[in-house]
């Protein structure tokens, strides 16, 4: 799988992909991440990619021409399966979205900056608009890193134990149950005896019950869906 990211600040995206599972995914050849600097397609020698917005108002807008030229050139040989714009007014990212996107072959993520990108680029090119929450960041780079991590970690072969992803929160519309490790007793708190029983069926039943109880308390909206 290849994920390409179009950004004015590629420096913000270097570190997240050089460590942990994203590094492992790339080393295994399961995921290729390419960063493209939008200023390569700037409209002038000064590297301009933004301009004042029509109608007045504070904040600059990322222009049509640099974005369109970049996208056209990048997909000249083959089309992207998805062109995603990270934006606060997009659909809130859910696990099911990451699952779907992990099955794609080639994705382009556009990172907004300033007041965002010209609406015509959204109309002409963008196939999905994704938000990572109801708040505003300085740009789309950190949101793009979140999306890439959510997608990349569930590509088959990335996790050492692929069954781990299947028990993550939201995979089965439930929050994950509580987990415990050694020691058995810590500051007066004990590991639930059922987890020490060695009975897989009873342990699984306990985990399912705990997941349901936790979801009912913390995220009843998930169960409503």
Q: What is the pLDDT of residues 138-148, one digit of tens each?
A: 999 999 999 99
User: Which has more confidence, 161 or 75?
Assistant: 75
pLDDT for 16 equals: 93
- Band (168; pLDDT cuts 50, 70, 90): low
* Identical fold between 2-152 and 167-224: no
The predicted-structure confidence for 100-139, as pLDDT tens digits, reads as follows: 999 999 999 999 988 999 999 999 999 999 999 999 999 9
For the domain bounded by 2-152, which CATH number is listed?
A: 3.40.1280.10
Whether the pLDDT of residue 170 is over 90: the answer is no
Model confidence over 28-65: pLDDT tens digits? 999 999 999 999 999 999 999 999 999 999 999 999 99
Q: Is the pLDDT of residue 167 over 90?
A: no
Predicted TM-score of the model (pTM):
0.89
Structure tokens at 106: 């080639």
Domain ranges of the chain: 2-152, 167-224
- CB contact burial 141-176 (16+ within 10 A = b; e otherwise): bbbbbbbbbbbbbbbeebbeeeeebeeebbeeebbb
- pLDDT for the residue numbered 152: 96
User: Rounded CA gap, 175 and 213, in Å?
Assistant: 9
225 pLDDT above the threshold of 90:
no
Instruction: Tell me if 97 sits within 8 A of 130, measured CB to CB.
Output: yes
- Per the prediction, the chain carries an average pLDDT of 94
Using CA atoms, how far apart are residues 77 and 150, in angstroms rounded to an integer? Answer: 27
Strand partners, 111: 86
Which one-letter DSSP state was computed for residue 123?
A: H
How many helices (H) and strands (E) the chain has is answered by 8, 9
Q: CA–CA separation, 223 vs 225, rounded Å?
A: 5
The CATH number given to 167-224 is 1.10.1270.20
Q: Which residues pair with 117 in a beta bridge?
A: 62
Q: What is the pLDDT of residue 77?
A: 85
């Amino acid at each position: 799988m290849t994920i390409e990211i179009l950004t004015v600040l590629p420096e913000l995206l270097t570190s997240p992909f050089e460590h942990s599972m994203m590094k492992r995914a790339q080393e295994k050849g399961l995921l290729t991440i390419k960063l493209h600097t939008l200023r390569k397609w700037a409209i002038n020698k000064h590297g301009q990619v933004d301009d004042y917005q029509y109608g007045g108002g504070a904040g600059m807008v990322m222009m049509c021409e640099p974005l369109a030229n970049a996208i056209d050139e990048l997909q000249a040989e083959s089309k992207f399966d998805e062109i995603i714009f990270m934006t606060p007014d997009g659909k809130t990212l859910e696990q099911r979205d990451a699952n779907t996107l992990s099955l794609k072959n080639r994705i382009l993520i556009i990172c907004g900056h300033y007041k965002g990108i010209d609406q015509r680029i959204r109309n002409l090119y963008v196939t999905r608009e994704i938000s990572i929450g109801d708040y505003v960041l300085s740009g789309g780079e950190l949101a793009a890193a979140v999306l890439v991590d959510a997608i990349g970690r569930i590509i088959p072969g990335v996790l050492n134990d692929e069954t781990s992803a299947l028990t993550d929160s939201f995979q089965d519309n439930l929050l994950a149950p509580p987990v415990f490790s050694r020691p058995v007793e810590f500051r007066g708190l004990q590991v639930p005896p059922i987890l020490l029983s060695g009975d897989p069926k009873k342990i699984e039943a306990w985990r399912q019950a705990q997941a349901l109880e936790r979801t009912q308390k913390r995220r009843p909206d998930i169960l409503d869906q």
